[in-house]
Amino acid sequence: MTRSQDLFTEAQKHLVGGVDSPVRAFKSVGGNPLFISRAQGAHIYDADGKKYIDYVGSYGPMILGHVHPKVLNAVERTVKNGFCFGASTEGEIELAMLVKEAFPSIEMVRFVNSGTEAVMSAIRLARAYTKRDKIVKFSGCYHGHSDFLLAEAGSGLMTYGLPASAGVTKNTAQDTFIAPYNDIQFLKDLFEKYNGEIAAVIIEPVVGNMGVVLPEGNYLKELSALTTSHGIQLIFDEVMTGFRKEFGGVQTLFGVTPDITCLGKIIGGGMPVGAYGAKRELMEMVAPLGPVYQAGTLSGNPVSMAAGIATLNELKEPNTYASLNAVTTRLAEGIRKLATAKNIPMQVAKHGSMITPFFCDGKVTNYDLAKKADTDRYAKFFNLIIESGIFAPPSQFEAWFVSTAHTTKHIDETLDIFDEVMDEL
Ligand code: KE4
């Protein structure tokens, strides 16, 4: 028995499924979840002290690798002066200014404690602003666990959503439409049919949560024009993509301006955080200025702010993204070459330093295609590489994350391991 196995046995007596977030239970890949004792740079160490190259990166926040000295110093310096006060601090101003610098579409920011909270608040704001109830999300996109976003497509297309989780009421789900990603005609028809009823469309502009899936052609620009012409608020959920590929987001890369942006993960440098932002006119509807109520005990807490400021300032350093994205290209290209050489059907989708190796033929452009991936083969791959000291996301439908702490040496070490295990797939 490993220490992780012992801890998992004990954890299951006290924590639901032995975890505090479902994906950590390794349900879709089998095997025993790791318990991590510490991490440094590109590596994590499990409770038995076994070392792994980490491609989970806490699902996005750890873009500088673990325990980056500048982030550690900022956190230590700040926490010595107090953990949280229930009053404002200078760090909130500094981090808000960095966010606004990176996202010109944002004139005002509100910090919260998670991506879920950011998205939940953004939807409430959009509904208040438009005085409409319906919202549209996309199959395969995940925006946290607020009730109205845990909805799945009904039987017929263009019907109201159905609860995607126990405890979500039919009425709640009925206010949510589910659209296929990368299908602009579907949206044109939907908006015509429900003209004047739809408050917001929320999208992961580059998807991470069905695995990495990119918008095709002018999809995002067409989406923006369509929502504008129908008076629908466009919400970019950039919780995962914010500051991932460049010092900004998909909106700055693709030149598409959403009405509201949600952020999280990287802007907290590994500490709990979320944020939503928009033009002043919209944000001034939020309490204490306006009628949209939203609050939080730990919102804007000084330690998260300090970790976020240190992280974003480090990301501003010249050449940071160029080398991070280049190292990731080395990994993606290396996997593609191995799959071709070994005749394994694989597609490696990439956005900056997030990738997904799909075990399938043909490009993945939406959820129906993502679901065609061979999840059993991914599970086998996952369990072979974890044995060899590579920690990847325990699901085919997640993104892998590379950090600035990953060097070409780490990548080549990874590819050597893949070269071995892929012969067993
Ligand atoms: P949190 O509430 O987990 O901070 O953020 C929710 C969220 C919102 N929007 C996007 C685009 C997200 O990716 C997430 C959370 N991402 C998952 C990874 N698939 C977090 C990992 C987990 O659930 O444990």
Give the CATH number for residue 43: 3.90.1150.10
Please say whether the beta carbons of 303 and 83 come within 8 A: yes
- Domain containing 109 equals 69-315
Both 324 and 206 in a single domain? Answer: no
Both 42 and 127 in a single domain? Answer: no
Both 148 and 181 in a single domain? Answer: yes
- The set of residues, in sequence order, having a beta carbon less than 8 Å from that of 373 and lying 6+ positions away, is 211, 358, 359, 360, 364, 396
Dist. CA 133–CA 138, nearest whole Å: 17
- The atom of ligand 1 lying closest to the CA of 144 is 6
| 29-54 mean pLDDT | 97
Catalytic pick from 265, 321, 350, 374?
Answer: 265
Please say whether the beta carbons of 160 and 175 come within 8 A: yes
Both 403 and 273 in a single domain? Answer: no
Both 96 and 217 in a single domain? Answer: yes
Q: In this predicted model, what pLDDT tens digit does every residue of 292-339 receive, in sequence order? A: 999 999 999 999 999 999 999 999 999 999 999 999 999 999 999 999
Q: Does residue 237 have an active-site annotation?
A: yes
CB distance 121 to ligand 1 below 6 Å:
no
| Single-letter code of the amino acid located at 99 | V
What token pair was written down for 259? 């009405």
Both 37 and 170 in a single domain? Answer: no
Average pLDDT, the chain: 97
**What is the 420 CA–ligand 1 centroid distance (Å)?**
32
Count structural domains, the chain: 2
Residue at which a domain ends, from 268, 286, 315: 315
Nearest to 60 by CA among 355, 422, 372: 355
Burial status of residue 386 (CB atoms within 10 A of its CB: 0-12, 13-18, 19 or more): buried
Report the residue among 209, 262, 298 best suited for mutation to probe ligand 1: largest number of ligand atoms under 8 A from its CB: 209
CATH number assigned to the domain comprising residue 283: 3.40.640.10
Nearest to 114 by CA among 158, 146, 81, 82: 146
| 227-253 mean pLDDT | 98
Say yes or no to pLDDT of 157 above 70.
no
Q: Does residue 265 have an active-site annotation?
A: yes
Largest Cα span, the chain? 61
| 11-23 mean pLDDT | 97
Both 164 and 190 in a single domain? Answer: yes
- The atom of ligand 1 lying closest to the CA of 265 is 4
Q: Does residue 54 have an active-site annotation?
A: no
What token pair was written down for 48? 């038995």
The two beta strands, 274-278 and 108-112, are antiparallel
CB distance 137 to ligand 1 below 6 Å:
no
Both 49 and 159 in a single domain? Answer: no
Global pTM value: 0.98
> Percent of the chain, pLDDT > 70?
99
Q: Which helix (H) or strand (E) holds 251?
A: helix 250-254
Both 336 and 246 in a single domain? Answer: no
What pLDDT, on a 0 to 100 scale, did the predictor assign at position 225? 98
Predicted confidence band at 156 (pLDDT cuts at 50, 70, 90)? low
The residue whose two tokens read 């700040």 is 78
